[in-house]
Amino acid sequence: MIAVLPLEGIPEIEEGDDLAALLEEGAARHGGLQARDVLVVAQKAVSKAEGRVVVLEEIEPSDAAREHAGEGDPRHVEVILRETARVVRSRPPLVIAETRHGFVCASAGVDSSNAPGSGTVVLLPADPDASARSLHERLGVAVIVSDSFGRPFRQGTTDVAIGVAGLAPLLDYRGTRDRVGYELKTTQIAVADEIAGAAELVMGKTDGIPAAIVRGLALEGDGTARDLLMPPDRDLFR
């Protein structure tokens, strides 16, 4: 069995906070972090600790942003465009963007909910894998930085891994055999995304729970969230 344990009682994160220390305190009521735990931390907590917050008043929107914004806030759209490497789809004011990291998501991950004040927006971490790696090195457990992404074809968001350290995000069954001896040729499971989604179930969106422990997995290896990006030559939806 696995257990998914919410880290409660962590205060609202602010720039410069020692996130690793706060997470460790939050884990104390679950007996502290244990060797094979996976610690899932919401992107917004990481971004806030790293100061990835933009004050809209200080943003001068470009013509492109004004044009795209329609009835939305052109300064918000300007921030989105600055985080965007490639616009994948757009239906104003919605932008589906490929971020500079290579993630395809709404608004290039720029979000105004749970931002530290009205008139601010929160960006994705500059390097979520590095953020995860830093927490992993401090805390000694596998770490996933998670964010809520929409998906083509399906309604609603699910949390996925945008930063990974200390576990292999893909579980590779290629070459193994099923119960009846059939060789699994193409099966790779995005376990890091499934773990991020499981953690979301206890974190919620309005409860101020920025992290969860997923305990009881026996995963091996190492890797980064880049392993989860579809290479352009295999991407049928570019």
Summarize as ranges the residues that interact with its own copies (CB under 8 A): 1-6, 12, 89, 91, 94, 96, 103-104, 112-118, 148, 151-160, 169-171, 173, 176-182, 184, 187-191, 193-195, 197-198, 200-202, 205-206, 208, 217, 227-230, 235-237
Scanning the structure block, which residue is given the tokens 């919401």? 42
Taking the least distance from each CB to its own copies, the nearer of 141 and 202 is 202
Minimum Å distance from CB 178 to its own copies?
A: 5
Taking the least distance from each CB to its own copies, the nearer of 43 and 134 is 43
The DSSP element (H or E) to which 85 belongs, if any, is strand 84-91
Taking the least distance from each CB to its own copies, the nearer of 60 and 232 is 232
CA dihedral sign of residues 124, 152, 167, 196: positive
Minimum Å distance from CB 17 to its own copies?
A: 15
SS3 205: coil
Spell out the residues 6+ positions from residue 22 whose beta carbon is closer than 8 angstroms to its own. Answer: 10, 11, 13
Q: Do residues 96 and 151 make contact, with C-beta atoms less than 8 angstroms apart?
A: no
Taking the least distance from each CB to its own copies, the nearer of 130 and 170 is 170
Taking the least distance from each CB to its own copies, the nearer of 5 and 81 is 5
Taking the least distance from each CB to its own copies, the nearer of 21 and 184 is 184
What distance in Å separates the CA atoms of residue 29 and residue 27, rounded to the nearest whole number? 6
Quote the tokens at residue 43.
């992107």
Minimum Å distance from CB 208 to its own copies?
A: 5
Q: Smallest Cα–Cα separation from 34: which of 231, 174, 217?
A: 217
Taking the least distance from each CB to its own copies, the nearer of 135 and 191 is 191
SS3 192: helix
Using only C-alpha atoms, what is the Rg of the chain?
A: 19
For residue 105, CA distances in Å to 56, 102, 109, 235 come to 21, 10, 6, 15
Minimum Å distance from CB 5 to its own copies?
A: 5
Minimum Å distance from CB 197 to its own copies?
A: 4
Minimum Å distance from CB 130 to its own copies?
A: 20
Minimum Å distance from CB 96 to its own copies?
A: 6
For residue 15, CA distances in Å to 130, 152, 235 come to 17, 34, 37
What distance in Å separates the CA atoms of residue 74 and residue 82, rounded to the nearest whole number? 12
